[in-house]
Each structure stands twice: as structure tokens, then as C-alpha cells.
Chains A and B, each alone.
Chain A
């Protein structure tokens, strides 16, 4: 956290390279979060890039530098929601449909990622905020505009839902935790 603050202050003082440290630190988290929110790996990098550029541009508007992580996730979430609103289902021909299908799961992690994509957006975003960005319940509540109790309940239910899906899949395919 202190590193973040020092890098932010260095960036604000005119050192653009200092922001590179922040990019290095958060690039994977942002891409992973964008991937799970949008379910698209191709667009995830673009959205994460836009989020980082926006964060750099508006860095002076950030009042509390200790909340940079939550602020950055808020920007990314806004970008992803705007993207999901604007995205239309693409016209896919029946011949190309088979090619566009995701590859069959080859391990538990990939299967779990697929199950995560089956969750609704509110649960996906809260899981991403918690387990990718590693935000506290309080930061998540502030970012999502709700209270801590709601975050706790939603997080618990999202995880239970995920487990239900996972157990259902295990009954079918025999996957173990």
C-alpha cells in the first residue's frame, strides 16, 4: 500500500515512469477481473488498458491515495458494464458456430472458470472484487454503492452457488475439489 502511495505521488509530481510500476502491479488483476466480468479474453485487455489510461488521466481527482485499488477497480467495473451494455450478440453463422464454442475443460481450474462464467453478473463482480482485486468488504461496499452486510451475504451466496454448480458438474463428470 505504501508503495502504491509513493508511486502515485511520484506520478503526480510528473514522473510518468512511476505509473509504470502501478501498471506492472495491477495489470494481471485488471485483465483477470475484466475477463470474468465480460467473459471475453479479447476485450478484457482492451478494457483493462482503457481503465489504466483513465486512471492515469484522472489521478489528480483521487482524494484518498490509500483507496487506489478500489478506485481502479471501480473504473474497470464501469468500463466493463458500459461494454456489456453496448455489446450486442454477434451474428454467427451455423457453420462457424462449432468453431466458436469454447474448448472442453481439461482441468479443474478451467472448469471452475467456466462455472464462474455461468454466474450472474452481480455475483461475478463481487467474486472478482473479493478474490482477484482482494478488496475488503468495506471497499467492495463503497465501490458497489451498498453496505457491508449486503456484500457479506452476496459473497457467501455467490460462493455457495458456485459450489452447487460444481457439485452438479461433479455428479456428471466426477470432478473433485
Chain B
């Protein structure tokens, strides 16, 4: 069979039927002049078309056909024109025409619904989460503002908290607007109040609260399905996940206190040194749990008395080692009694920072946050490390930190205790000296008959040593955890003359680096999204071609 050039086949057929466009006709005529195969095919096809037309038109209507039709038409009434013309079709928008040329059919509608459902199912949780977070932030801002207003009220009233009966009025007088009493999650109107005030604060002042940072003053009564937002007596506010009501918060605090007390008791009972066995049984009742202050429960002095008894009799035992409290939760937060702030000046700030972090970990503590600011032309490098360590390790840590550089200041709970700490170190040194003296006396006593005198001196020194140890133990038992912040600053570098050309080059390189990073992030985002959206896009295009482009 004669086969024309493939790309001309259908155009040639259309041309022979008189359907080709002007451009096609010119091109086809040119092609036929060059290609004998297509020319032969065209002749054949023309012959075919004539034969087909002749064969198809061969059947003719019978002679009476027209008469029959007209006879039937004569008795057939013509339909009247529709009285109400069909409503004009609404004009489609450009994008509607492009995307959905045949919009309105069931398949298209179902396809669109399915696509919308898929996209919606992807994005709806994201949007809902963002909205929830936004409301949470607004509510937190309200609570923080109210907690600040309470602090302002206290300043005007000698530390007295507002009474539960008029706390709203008191807060309004201190700058809290009516709108701030409404949680964004509720649909209440301004006279309503969506926040609850701690009625136990009525008649109390800040002196009655031992741990203001853990004592709730008010909380949101609406935003409580995944956690609650709570303001505290020290003026700060925070979101507490997992706590749905103030009762939940109390229960959690008490459970944490139980854990804390257990942690404290265990090492005393299980101490192998024997001093705990000699201590008299505890006569004190368990600490009352009716208050929310952690210190009132955990700050019992009973073990200190036991230690005093033990230390007065025997040689000071090895200090009880607390188990490494790496699981610092709310229980540990409640035991934070000391906030320590240390400033150090060092030649190598970066190395000092790393050492400080290592020391915190070495002393069974942990790093909460660490920041390092690179030195500029006029400003030396600086760093800040904050973390927590068990109380008994605080002293050792402070001594270790002295080696990092030159000590600038050391404050404990806002009080500058640099001098006290140095004095304490001197006391320890003198104690070591006293112990050496004791050993010397004991050695002399063996050689001299004046044993009584030596015994007397030994008792004196022992008393002195025991007193010091008792002070240490008081400190140790009270300070279970210490919150420490270490500021390290570098020394002022000498002024360096900077070549302006070099500086501009450096800036250009930095800008180029930032641009490259941004471009890389964009490409990465596209690469991540293409596998997610690519198949969906292909399906959508296929469905469009399959159903909509007919």
C-alpha cells in the first residue's frame, strides 16, 4: 500500500477535501512538487474521494418520497417558538474558562470537590494550629498584663494583694482595660471576665509568699483544653501544658513535692557511713500540704538537726551525695532557692564558654541556654551561659569558675556575695590548716604525757570543724538546686586599623554567602514540595484533559 510522509498524511487528506488552511495549502503544494510518493498518494486519495462520493450518493429517494413527506407535513403542526427564552448563560470568567471549560458537569464538580478536600485536609490542621497559637499568645499577653497590674497594686498598698472581692476593679485602676479580661477563645462581651483570681491571696502580702514565682495569682478559665495560662505572684505569666485547671496544677505540684522529698530522704537513709543510723528518729510531723508554697514543705530543718547531732559526736562524715538529678522537672524547679550570677573576664571567651558548659555538666548540672556574641571592632566578645546545678555542687562549681578568668562579680539572689565567698574559701583553707594542726597535735600527744591537754585541744578543733561543716550542711540541704548564670566578657581588643577595601570585600562576601544560603533554601523548598505536589498536579492535569477538554 502506498504510504505518504507521515507528517503530511492527514494534512494532505484535509487538503484534498478542501479543508486545509491557506498556509497548509501553500506548504502542501510545495511538498507535492518535491515528493513523488505523496503526489501519487494524493492522486490516489482524490480518486478515492470521488469514488466514495459517487458510491455514497448512489441511493436515491423514490419518486413518491417528496409527496409522502409533504402529505405528512400538511397534517403536522409546527411547534410554536418557546415563549420564555432560556436564561442567558452567565458569563464565565477568564480563569473559569481556562481551567474548567465544561464546568457544571457532575464529574468535574466531584473532581473539584475531591481536590479541595485533599488540599483542605492538608492545610486545615496547619491553619487551626496557627490560630490556636495566636489565641494562646493573646491570652498569655492578657494574663501577663494583669499580673503586672497586680504587682503595681502591691507597690501602692505595701505589698498587699488585691482582695478577691474587688480584684477586677483594682486591676482596672492599674491600667488593665475591659477587653483584657476576655480570653480570645470565648465570645463573651466586655462586662464578662474570663479569668479567675486566686482567692487565697485575699489579705496576704508579698512577705507571706515564700516562692512568688511558683504561686499562682490568676489563670484563664477558658483556655484550658490542652493546658492553662497562669500568672504568678512575681508578675510573670506562662502557658502550662497538660494542666487543665487550678486543681490539676495543685495536684501536679504536690506530686512533684512527693518526688522531691523522696529524693531527699533516700540518700540519708541509705548512707553507708553510719551517721544516719545514730540520728534520733524524726519527731516532726510531715510538712503541711495546704499551702502551695514549695518551700514550706520541702524546707524542713529536721535532717539538719540530725546532722548537727552526728557531727558533734564523730568526725565529720563525707557529705551525702545526692543522686545526679538529671531529670529536672517541676519538682526541681520548686527547689531552686538560689539564683547565682557570675561575671568573669577572660582572654579567650569562646574557650571559657565551652569550659563553663563542661563544668556545669561535670558538676551534675545542665545548660539551659548558651549564647556567644562575636567581638566587633569597638566591642569585645561576650558570652552568657545559664544552667542549673545541684546545691551541694554549687560551691565547687564556683571555685572551678574562678579558674576561667578574672572574677568581676558574683551575686547570689541579687546580693553581692563576692567577698563572702572569698571569706568562705579562706575559712575552708583555715579548716584544712586546723586539721593539719590537729594531726600534728595528735602526733605530739603520743610523744608527750600531757594527753589531756592534747585531748582538750583536739576537741576545740573538732568543735570548730564541726561548726563549719554544719554551716555547709545547712547550705547543702537548703539549696537543692541553684540557678546559675555566667557572663563571660573578653578584654577590650587593641584598635586595629582596617583596610577599607578589605572590609568592603568582606561585607560583599558575607552578602554573597547570605544570598547563596537563601537561594539554596529556596531550591531545597522547591525540591521538597515537588514530590508532594507533583503527582497531584499530574492527576489534576490528566483529569482536566480526560473530562474537561472534551
Contact = CB atoms under 8 A, between A and B. Distances in A.
B53 to A, nearest CB: 4
B320 to A, nearest CB: 92
Question: Interface size bucket, A side?
Answer: 35 or more
B452 interface: no
B48 A162 contact: yes
B13 A155 contact: yes
A138 B14 CA distance: 12
A132 interface: yes
Interface stretch (B67-75, B136-144, B181-189, B473-481): B67-75
Interface in B131-157: none
A159 B41 CA distance: 12
A11 B19 CA distance: 32
A156 B51 CA distance: 15
A59 B47 contact: no
A31 B51 contact: no
Interface in A79-114: 108-110, 112-113
B56 interface: yes
Interface stretch (B78-86, B237-245, B253-261, B372-380): B78-86
A48 B69 CA distance: 9
B56 A113 contact: yes
B66 A177 contact: no
A23 B72 CA distance: 12
Contact of A32 (B10, B59, B69): B59
A27 B56 contact: no
A43 B59 CA distance: 12
A143 interface: no
Contact of A131 (B9, B53, B61, B73): B53
B65 interface: yes
A32 B48 CA distance: 18
A136 interface: yes
A152 B16 CA distance: 11
A53 B69 contact: yes
A60 B79 contact: yes
A24 B81 CA distance: 25
B48 A152 contact: no
B54 A28 contact: no
A163 B48 contact: yes
Nearest to A111: B55
Contact of B56 (A32, A108, A153): A32
A52 interface: yes
Contacts of B51: 108-109, 112, 177
A53 B76 contact: yes
B44 interface: yes
A73 interface: no
A26 to B, nearest CB: 9
Interface string A37-78: 000010011001100110011111100000000000000000
A49 B66 CA distance: 8
A128 to B, nearest CB: 6
B52 interface: yes
Contact of B44 (A11, A35, A177): A177
Given A159-B48, A167-B1, A177-B48, A109 B58 contact: yes
A13 B373 CA distance: 96
Contacts of B13: 152, 155-156, 159
A128 B56 contact: yes
A116 interface: yes
B494 interface: no
Interface in A104-148: 108-110, 112-113, 116, 127-128, 130-132, 136-137, 145
B62 A19 contact: no
A18 to B, nearest CB: 11
Given A128-B56, A177-B48, 11 more contacts: A32-B59, A36-B59, A45-B65, A49-B69, A61-B82, A112-B55, A113-B55, A131-B57, A156-B9, A159-B13, A163-B48
Interface of B: 1, 9-10, 13-14, 17, 19, 44-45, 47-49, 51-62, 65-66, 68-70, 72-74, 76-82, 550
14 contacts: A23-B73, A32-B59, A45-B61, A45-B65, A48-B65, A53-B73, A113-B55, A116-B52, A130-B17, A137-B19, A152-B19, A155-B17, A177-B47, A177-B51
Q: What are the 9 A-B residue pairs with the smallest beta carbon separation, nearest first?
A: A156-B13, A112-B55, A131-B53, A31-B61, A35-B59, A27-B61, A60-B81, A32-B59, A113-B55
